[in-house]
Amino acid sequence: MECQCEQDNSEDAVPGIQSLCKWLSRMWRFIEAFSYKFKWLVAVIKAITGSSKEGAVESEANPTRTQNLSSDLSSKPGLRLILLGPSGGGRSSLADTLLGNSGTKAPTGPLMESTKRRAVVDGREVTVIDTPDLLGPSLGNNKRAREALQSLQLVSPGPHAFLLVVRAPGSSIGIDQDAAQAIRATLELFGDVAAGYIIPVLTHADRLGRRRTVDQLLDVDTGALRNVVSLCGQRPELVDNRPDCPPEAKSGTHRQLVERVMETKDLREHFVHELQRTEDRIKEELLTDMASALTRKLGHM
């Protein structure tokens, strides 16, 4: 009898085990289907937290996708810049440094009109308006005026800073570029209010020998550089913007200038020209007129 009971118990257990296996199989299929349907959600969570090895590998394999994702998810505010300065100062080269390798490329040949370039660098959208030589007489007054206003339209609602790009004193064999005159020409074009937004950027630091800091340049200054500081109230930035500059140095220059512009932005927000005020007023008046016309039309329907 005892043997018979054990046999009966084992026979009763077989259907239970089979039922359990079937239940586990159904549960596994459900989990697989769930994970497939919500795979996109898992990917987004991984991208946000950055805690997954798989996410890190995907970032290296697809940098464009990572760049777009950082643009969408980053909370860093964008920056809008206008580059000014005489020919030969290094405006376009500095624009390349600010935008990195992902930015739109500079046009070849001499720049004859204001050009908008932008890129997402370190999770921040940077917009740069590269200009022709607006500060000298080569373009003529009419062309200078039009291109100055065009640069403002391209960077609407207004730039956070004007980067005035000139060669550092003593960096060339010829006559030094007159940075003070460049500032006066900038104020003539954009108004005296622009003074607080001008950041002088001294280029070609690699040609200065041992004088590699702004303080060292001020120590041997005969008055020209101090005049620049007094005109705009801003301390110059000294950079090495050679085209063959190492990537690490270019990244350092980018961070240096972005931090400086952010300081200006925190103090004053962005520059607003009378052109922008006039545009906003005209748009508001046009919107009011069209809304009134549409209201009358709806009243007759």
Quick one: pLDDT at residue 177?
A: 85
CB atoms within 10 A of CB 155: 22
The amino acid at 297 = K
If DSSP codes are grouped into helix, strand and coil, which group holds residue 164? strand
The amino acid at 135 = L
Phi, psi of 227 (to 5 degrees): -65, -40
Of 37 and 294, more confident: 294
The amino acid at 289 = D
In angstroms and rounded to an integer, the radius of gyration of the C-alpha atoms of the chain is: 31
The pLDDT tens digits for 32-87 are: 544 444 444 444 344 433 443 333 333 333 333 334 444 444 557 889 999 999 88
| Domains of the chain, start order | 2-67 (no CATH), 77-270 (3.40.50.300)
The pLDDT tens digits for 111-170 are: 889 999 989 888 889 999 999 999 988 888 999 999 999 999 999 899 999 999 999 888
**Mean pLDDT rounded to a whole number for the chain:** 77
Pull the structure tokens for residue 112.
Answer: 């004859």
Indicate the pLDDT class of residue 191, thresholds 50, 70 and 90.
very high
Q: What DSSP character marks residue 109?
A: S
Residue 122's closest CA among 71, 49, 59?
A: 71
Lowest mean pLDDT among 91-105, 172-186, 231-245: 91-105
Indicate the pLDDT class of residue 107, thresholds 50, 70 and 90.
low
CB 187 within 8 A of CB 232: no
Indicate the pLDDT class of residue 102, thresholds 50, 70 and 90.
low
Which pTM value belongs to this model? 0.69
Give the Cα separation of 216 and 172 in Å (integer): 17
CB 184 within 8 A of CB 224: no
